[in-house]
Amino acid sequence: MKILYGENDGSTVTFCLSGELDHHTAKKLRAEIDGEILLSRPAVVKLDFSDVTMMDSSGIGLILGRKQTAQSVGATVRVSGAVGEIGKIIRLSGLERLPGLTITEESEKR
C-alpha cells in the first residue's frame, strides 16, 4: 500500500492510494494522512481509490476516521475511484448517506 500525493493547491489535498487496503496497511496510512491534513488544513480532502486493488471494511474505517480528522479542520472529504469491489463495499457501508462526504466513481488522476 502506497500513497502518492496529488495536486495540492492550498485549498485541496489529494491522497492517491494504491495496492491492497486492509487492517494491516490501513494502520500505517492513518497517521500519515492525518498528519498531512492537520498540517495543510485544506477545505477539501480527496481520497482516490482508483489504484486500490483490494479493500475490505478496514478501508471503510479508514475513510470514516479521515472524515473525522477533516471535520476537525472544517474540511469535507471526497472519495473517488469508487468502482468495482471498492464501490461495492462502499455501497454496502452506506457511506454515501453521510453529510460532508462525497463519493464518486471518477478518478482524480488524469
Partner 1 sequence: MKKAINELKLRLPAKSENEAVARALVCSFAATLDPTVGELADLRCAVSEAVTNVVVHAYRELKDSAAGRIYISVRLYDTREITVEITDTGCGIADVEKAREPFFTTGKEDERCGMGFLVMESYTDSLTVRSKPGRGTTVIMKKKLTP
Binding site for partner 1 (CB under 8 A): 20, 22-24, 26-27, 30, 54-58, 60-62, 64-65, 84-85, 89, 92-93
Q: Which is nearer to partner 1, 11 or 57 (CB)?
A: 57
Write down the least CB distance from residue 56 to partner 1, Å: 4
**CB of 63 vs partner 1, minimal distance in Å:** 9
Give 13 or 95: the residue with its C-beta nearer to partner 1. 95
**CA distances (Å), origin 88, targets 6, 39, 45, 91, 94:** 25, 32, 22, 5, 10
Amino acid of residue 24: H
Q: Shortest Cβ distance from residue 91 to partner 1 (Å)?
A: 10
Whether 80 contacts 47, CB under 8 Å: yes
28 versus 43: smaller Cβ distance to partner 1: 28
User: How far separated are the first and last CA of the chain, in Å rounded?
Assistant: 20
Cβ at position 52, least distance to partner 1 in Å: 12
Provide CB contacts within 8 A for 44, sequence distance 6+: 11, 12, 13, 75, 76, 77, 78
Nearer to partner 1, 7 or 32 (CB): 32
Q: Which three cell numbers stand for residue 62?
A: 479508514
